[in-house]
Structure 1
Amino acid sequence: MEPRYPTMSSKTLLHLDSSILGGHSVSRQVSAAIVARLAAADPSLNVVYRDLAADPLPHATPASMPADHPLSGGKGDAASQQALDDFLAADIVVVGAPMYNFSIPTQLRAWIDRILVPGKTFAYRADGAVTGLAAGKRVIVALARGGNYADPAFAAVAEHAETYLRWVFGFVGIEPEFIVADGIAAGRREAALEGALRSAGELKAA
């Protein structure tokens, strides 16, 4: 995990990457551009970075969950608790999310398992409905996909990255924003990257 740099900023940005491709990754380049855009608009922004591929959380077990999770029995794992605490403390979350085999990387899924905690990020009401407890945060996802998903019929059966992340963040009360680079493995890598970087540079700062 990268070191934290405390500042006098009233806002904290949590930057997550999950691609296994290092410098070749499109999602990493786009997520970095998003963070650069927001940091340029607010130089006092406190940026916390976590590389989920280089420093992965383990697959979920009761013992590996945050101490705040009911499954942990009040004990839990320190790294998992830190992941939850970082999310709760963040005003803005930027997620680099490639699509692997039609869904998100397992490293990102393991992080999501740490932030979906009853009583912390969501709660069930007496009638069985869910209240998201993380409303007010801004989430921006840099999504890179190898194929093209412009056809709604194809996307409906094959796209389980953007749809999943929209549902997950919506479940905790957040409507995420997406900057998408499509066709990375279908002959559109440079055009897709250029378009996504342009969108990141035009991103609304506030």
Structure 2
Amino acid sequence: MTQILSIRTSLHSESAQSAQLAQQFIAHWQQSHGDARVVQRDLATDPVPHLTAKRFTAFATPASERTEEQTAEVAQSDTLIAELQASDVIVLALPMYNFGIPSTLKAYFDHIARAGITFRYTEHGPQGLLTGKRAFVLATRGGQYAGTDRDTQTRYVRDFLGFIGIDDVSFVYAEGLAISEAHRSTALQEAERAITTLAA
């Protein structure tokens, strides 16, 4: 059975517009592809701590040499990575905060980027190890930034996912949600049409 990893990153959790679009995508995907197991990761209700030197040192220490405390430090990262490894499809609900990604998502990324596990360095450059997966990003913004220099999200998220081996990444944008109610309605309708097409 296909496994979908749904990652909410908004501070508003399931009530966020990005989370609602993600749920729509998953519903359409299941209609088109059959039933799928959905694993929900909500970074608002279950946040990942920001990376510290202590935790990074635990990551870098070989498992056989870790102290009990270091093993406990690594456990959360191992759980997050296991979810990714077991998933075929990643659905990322992504609001824009001050031209960037939510800090909770950056903390999540810092915990899943593990040398020798999700990527490795070679003489030809880094090689991602989480291959064969598809990612769909439901990006919501109050203003209109796609295709402009102020859209720092798209390139960063695509580059990071590619770094760990997830190269098949599609974005759906719902922009200008804060401009007016009419603009919001139109943007959401366009996003929903894009979702229907992508999830087919």
Q: Same fold (TM over 0.5)?
A: yes
**Map of 1:5 onto structure 2:** none
CA contact (8 A) 1:91 1:137 kept: yes
Return the offset for 1:72.
8.1
5 Å-filtered alignment, 1:149-188, equals 149=145, 152=147, 155-156=148-149, 158-175=150-167, 176-187=169-180, 188=183
Moved over 6 A (4+): none
**In structure 1, distance between residues paired with 2:13 and 2:123:** 46
2:120 to 123, 128, 131: 123
Report the RMSD for the aligned CA atoms in angstroms: 2.2
Question: Structure 2: which 5+ runs fail to align?
Answer: none
Q: Give distance in 2, aligned partners of 1:62 and 1:85.
A: 23
- CA deviation string 1:110-136 (max 9, x = no partner): 111111111112111124x11111121
Task: Evaluate the alpha carbon distance shift between residue 192 and residue 59 of structure 1 in structure 2; reply closer, same or farther with a 3 A threshold.
Answer: same
Partners of 1:117 and 1:33 lie apart in 2 by 31
Distance 1:196 1:66 in 2: 42
**What is the CA-CA distance between 1:66 and the residue it aligns to?**
11
The change in CA–CA distance for 1:140 and 1:183 in structure 2 (over 3 A counts) is: same
Which residue of 1 is the match for residue 192 of structure 2? Answer: 197
Which residue pairs with 1:6 in the alignment? Answer: none
Where does the alignment leave 5 or more consecutive residues of structure 1 unmatched?
1-8
Alignment of 1:49 onto 2:40 = yes
- Counterpart-to-counterpart distance in 2, 1:159 and 1:201: 24
Deviations 1:84-127 (A, max 9, x none): 11011111100001010000001111111111111112111124
CA distance in 1, matches of 2:57, 2:129: 17
Q: Is the 8 A contact 1:66 1:80 kept in 2?
A: no
Change (3 A) 1:23 1:121: closer
Q: Which has the higher helix share?
A: 2
Between the aligned partners of 2:40 and 2:152, the Cα distance in structure 1 is 25
Displacement, 1:62? 4.5
Aligned residue in 2 for 1:4: none
3-state SS of 2:116 partner: coil
Q: Secondary structure at the match of 2:40?
A: strand
TM-score (norm 2): 0.86
Q: Distance in 1 between matches of 2:106 and 2:62?
A: 18
Identity %: 34
Task: Confirm or deny: 8 A CA contact 1:18 1:98 kept in the other structure.
Answer: yes
Selected match of 1:84 from 62, 67, 81: 81
- How far apart are residue 191 of structure 1 and its match? 1.4
Deviation at 1:24, TM superposition (A): 4.7
Give the equivalent residue in structure 1 for 2:133: 137
Cα gap change, 1:72 to 1:24, in 2 (>3 Å): farther
Of the structure 1 ranges 193-202 and 140-149, higher mean CA displacement relative to structure 2 is found in 193-202
Alignment check: 8 A CA contact 1:63 1:72 kept: no
Kindly indicate whether residue 63 of structure 2 is the aligned counterpart of residue 70 of structure 1. Answer: no
Q: CA deviation at 1:63?
A: 4.6
